Amino acid sequence: MRTKPNTTFDMKLLNLNPTKRTVLAAAAVLAAGILSLLPWRLTAQHASNAPPTGAVTNLIPLKLGSSIPLAVRSAGVEWKGNTFHLVSLGAITLDLDKGDRLTAEIQGGVTMFDDVDYDISGAVFDAAGQMLGSARAQCKVRRMWAGKVEMRAQTITLDFGVSLDYARAVAFVVSISNRKVLTPDEWQK
C-alpha cells in the first residue's frame, strides 16, 4: 500500500473534500462490482460452434424411410376419476427427398373431448447434438359428445424445409404442446 502520493491524479484526489472522496470511492466500488460481473456474463454465453449443454435428453435415433415407434402423449385431463390424453403419437416415418427436404408423417390418435388445437413439434439433431432444424403442425381435436368418449386415427405431417445439413441427421425429438382443455361438465354449462 502506498503512503505517499506520486502522481498528479493522487494529489487531486487528496485535495477533494471528504464528501466528494466518499462519492468517488462509492462510484469506484460500484464500477468494480459491475466490471467483475462482465467476465461471468461473457463466459456464460455459448459460442456459435460450441456443443450443446445436454438440455435435450429424450432424443430418438433417426432412420430415414422406416416407421419408428413413438410413445408421446398430450398432458392428461382429469375427469370423473379418469385421465384422458387427447393426443397420442404412435409412430413416425421421416423422409429426406432428393431436393434435401425433410418431412415426417406421424401416425397417432385423438380423443374427441373438447375443441382444442395442439401444436406437434419436431426437431432433428446431428451426432454432436447440434439442432439442424425444426417443424410444427397443428393437431385439431374436436368436441364430439354422445355420452361417451370417441377416438379417431389421425396423421400429422411435419415439414422441416430444405437444408443440406439434414443428410447428417441422426436423432430427433417430438413434443406435444400443453393446452387448457375443458371437460364436458365445463362446456355443457
Q: What is the CA 51 to chain-centroid distance, rounded?
A: 16
Strand partners, 91: 69, 107
Q: For the domain 60-187, what is the CATH code?
A: 2.60.40.3230
pLDDT digits (tens, 9 = 90+) for 76-113: 999 889 898 999 999 999 999 999 999 999 999 998 88
Spans of all domains in the chain: 8-44, 60-187
The pLDDT of residue 147 is above 90: no
| Strand, helix or coil for residue 120 | strand
Task: Kindly report, residue by residue over 111-135, the tens digit of the pLDDT.
Answer: 888 889 999 999 999 999 899 999 9
Give the cell for residue 135.
417443424
Describe the strand order of the beta sheet including 131-141 as a list of residue ranges.
60-61, 171-176, 116-125, 131-141
CA-CA distance, 124 to 129, in Å (whole number)? Answer: 9
Give the range among 66-70, 134-138, 145-149 with minimum mean pLDDT.
Answer: 145-149
Q: What is the pLDDT of residue 134?
A: 97
